[in-house]
A and B are shown apart, each in its own frame.
Chain A
Amino acid sequence: MKIKSLTKFVWLWLACVFLMVAFAEQIVWATFGEEEEKPRPEFTRQDKKITAKLLPRAKSTSVSIDFEVSGAELIDVQGMDFEKAARPEVNHKDFKSALFIIEMLADSPGAEAKVSVSSDFFIRSTQFWIFNQKLETPWMNTGAQNLDHPEHVQELVIKVKDGGPFDSDMNADGRITIIGGPKDSFWGYALGTLFIRYFGIFIVLSILMLGMIFSGKIFQHLEDKKTKATSKPAALTVQVEKAEKPEVADEGITAEMATAIAAALHLHFSGSRASQPMSVSSLRPTAWAQQGRAQTIGERLMMYHRNKR
């Protein structure tokens, strides 16, 4: 009965899963939590540095990303929705902190500048990709330098040229605008962290298991020790009690009890003798014994002879 119910249940769900797979393409772009998780950066400026504070995708804590420029003047940094730059060749999930529009003024038309984007959210494999819709392939890797800094901060350094392919307007007009963002492999992270965390559970529970086995051994050892310790003094106590009890018995015993004990002892011992009955026939009294018996009997009988008493 249960198997039948389960079979029905499983078929129902298989049908549902089939439908889901059939419509997967539509479902993939269903909003789900994308809207909730969309990064919404807030910018603050401090001298030549602009800092974006945001809650990236797949994070529960906010991060800061610093933007600085050398060889040009940083005018502004803004956030940008990915939808405007969405192309089939890129996955928006790879851009966890979304896209930024970085605007700067070059020292001179056609000049080069270095854009520095740094955060402790980046890792060594983080890249910086640029979107330029004027190009045939709008998305490209800038090949940014990824530099290590203390406290896990990684700095991405991107070389841009006024009017170059990274410049959105591609005009050498003294104004450089780049649209892009840091990119990490979504699936690489998802699969990598999956294995690490699954085996992490094994490691955690194995450590707990070892801890429990170890503590269990200690407890068992202590219990054994306690049992032994309690059994030994018990034997000693019994001996001591044996030695001491007669005194208590002398003090506490009544006459009746003493009589009873004596009678019991007598019966016990006489009983044991009685259990080995003497064979009368085997007794062959010697002459000396016969004389002794006669004398004893004669002495006992004397009392019945008043005259001789």
Chain B
Amino acid sequence: MSWDYVLELITNILVTQTGIPNLLFKQVIMMVVAFFFLYLAVAKRYEPLLLVPIGFGIFLVNFPLAPLMGYSEHGYPELLRAFYKYGVEWEIIPPMIFLGLGAMTDFGPLIANPKTLIVGAGAQLGVFITYIGTLFFGFTLKEAASVAIIGGADGPTTIYLTAKLAPQLLGANALAAYSYMAMVPLIQPPIMRLMTTSAQRRIKMRQLRPVSAREKLLFPLIAAILIILLIPAVAPLMGMFMFGNFMRECGVVKRLSDTAQQSMMNIITILLGLSVGATMKAEVFLSWKPLLIFGFGLLDFIVCTFGGILTVHIMNLFVKEKVNPLIGSAGVSAVPMAARVSNSEGLKADRTNFLLMHAMGPNLAGVIGSAAAAGMFIAMFQ
């Protein structure tokens, strides 16, 4: 065995079996991007439950030669690819998240004041404005729809729709959606103040009527019947959402409801975050697209907030009991952050004006509205 042979062996090992010589500059940039999102999650507490696994997913997937997002020699998916393939590509994880969300949701405020459903619809304005905007920038119809849904401020809905229509944009869309959801307290208040007068912000709303347990129990059934009959394409999301809520309200499957709310939700969140992060390999992510998507995502959020408040202003022209327009911004979904923002803005205007429960109505309507918008888009391409 000569020295040349040994050197060649070492070189071969270094080149083919270690990552260092294969590390590219763009992969290093992606790792910096990953650190940025981890920083946002850990230091700034921006949606840490999602941004930590997403950030770590980005970090892991950008290591050279790491067997994570490819296929084995026998055609089996590698670890993160398996999470992505069976979780996201097969459209399992987003509906499962909706199941957990349903189990966590108390529809009482929405049932007590169903008129707020209209606010949830009005707050989808940004979705459609962005849809047109992105088309001007050369996005295909499917891509435009998947970017537009970011304004719905509903992470699982965004992921579901993007995975279905434009999987190549999944990472950027999911990141934009979750980042902006975390930034709701930053983005919304100036728009809310801009669109309301001080007197309007001080409008006090009548206390919501109590909702009986029986009414809460039947709500998921009634809502599922009406929504799925009208938009069958939304059945996977809405069906799971209402099923989760039915488990919660029926009170006889507490163990299942608890599991859906906690253990299952946590596991799914880890898998989802890693899967989404794993789609953001340097060669896919480093382009104009994510920047455009982030730009349109912000526009989307702003217009959606505007749309929700505008809808309340329009409603106030027709209703006897005036609605505080601050709750309109909660129509963008982002439960319960957007409702909290409405409440805090209401308290700033009047220290005795508690809007939280009133804002939960449009907030929940926003979830249904964004899922309906997603269903509309899915149906459009069928």
Interface residues of A (CB under 8 A from B): 2-3, 5-6, 9-10, 13, 16-17, 20, 23-24, 27-30, 32-34, 36-37, 57-61, 93, 187, 190-191, 193-194, 197-198, 200-209, 211-213, 215-216, 219-220, 223
Contact = CB atoms under 8 A, between A and B. Distances in A.
Interface stretch (B52-60, B183-191, B261-269, B270-278): B183-191
A37 B103 CA distance: 37
A33 B118 contact: no
A33 B369 contact: no
A216 B114 contact: yes
Interface residues of B, number: 68
- Max count, chain B CB within 10 A of own CB: residue among A198, A205, A207, A220: A205
Nearest to A23: B288
Nearest to A24: B137
A146 to B, nearest CB: 22
Contact of A204 (B143, B231, B378): B231
A32 B382 contact: no
B137 A198 contact: no
Given A33-B142, A198-B124, A201-B372, 5 more contacts: A2-B185, A190-B132, A194-B131, A204-B226, A207-B230
A190 B133 CA distance: 11
Contact of B117 (A6, A20, A59, A205): A205
Nearest to A207: B226
Shortest 9 CB-CB contacts between residues of A and residues of B: A212-B114, A28-B138, A58-B141, A197-B376, A205-B121, A209-B117, A33-B140, A60-B381, A205-B117
B188 to A, nearest CB: 10
B142 A201 contact: no
A33 B139 CA distance: 7
B166 interface: yes
Contacts of B326: none
Given A211-B226, A212-B114, A219 B214 contact: yes
Contacts of A20: 137, 288, 291-292, 295
A36 B168 contact: yes
Given A30-B138, A58-B140, A194 B288 contact: no
B128 interface: yes
23 contacts: A2-B190, A3-B189, A24-B137, A30-B287, A30-B288, A30-B289, A32-B140, A37-B142, A59-B381, A60-B164, A60-B165, A93-B140, A190-B131, A198-B127, A204-B231, A205-B368, A208-B368, A211-B222, A211-B223, A212-B117, A215-B218, A219-B212, A223-B212
Given A205-B365, A215-B215, A194 B292 contact: no
B-side interface mostly? helix
B274 to A, nearest CB: 24
Contacts of B112: 216
Contacts of A36: 166, 168
B348 to A, nearest CB: 12
A6 B125 CA distance: 22
Contacts of A6: 186-187, 190
B215 A216 contact: yes
A5 B115 contact: no
B111 A212 contact: yes
Interface string B359-382: 000000100110011001110111
Contacts of B117: 205-206, 208-209, 212
Nearest to B215: A219
Given A20-B288, A33-B166, A202-B121, A3 B141 contact: no
B135 interface: yes
Contacts of B156: none
B285 interface: no
B120 interface: yes
B126 to A, nearest CB: 11
B39 interface: no
A202 B231 contact: no
Interface string B101-123: 00000000011101101101110
Contacts of B372: 201, 204-205
Contacts of A215: 215, 218, 222
A132 B362 CA distance: 56
A27 B141 contact: no
B132 A191 contact: yes
B219 interface: yes
A29 B138 contact: yes
B362 to A, nearest CB: 11
B298 interface: yes
A9 B140 CA distance: 28
Contact of A205 (B127, B141, B369): B369
A6 B346 CA distance: 20
Interface in B140-190: 140-144, 164-166, 168-169, 185-187, 189-190
A2 to B, nearest CB: 6
B357 interface: no
A157 to B, nearest CB: 28
A289 to B, nearest CB: 71
A10 B230 CA distance: 38
Nearest to B214: A219
Contacts of B190: 2-3, 6
B118 A206 contact: yes
A9 B165 contact: no
B65 interface: no
Nearest to A19: B291
Given A9-B186, A59-B381, A205 B118 contact: yes
Contact of A201 (B121, B164, B289): B121
Given A32-B138, A33-B139, A13 B168 contact: no
Contact of A200 (B142, B185, B292, B376): B376
Contact of B223 (A3, A29, A208): A208
Contacts of A10: 298
A206 B223 CA distance: 12
B118 A209 contact: yes
- Max count, chain A CB within 10 A of own CB: residue among B140, B187, B377: B140
A5 B186 contact: yes
Contact of B140 (A34, A194, A198): A34
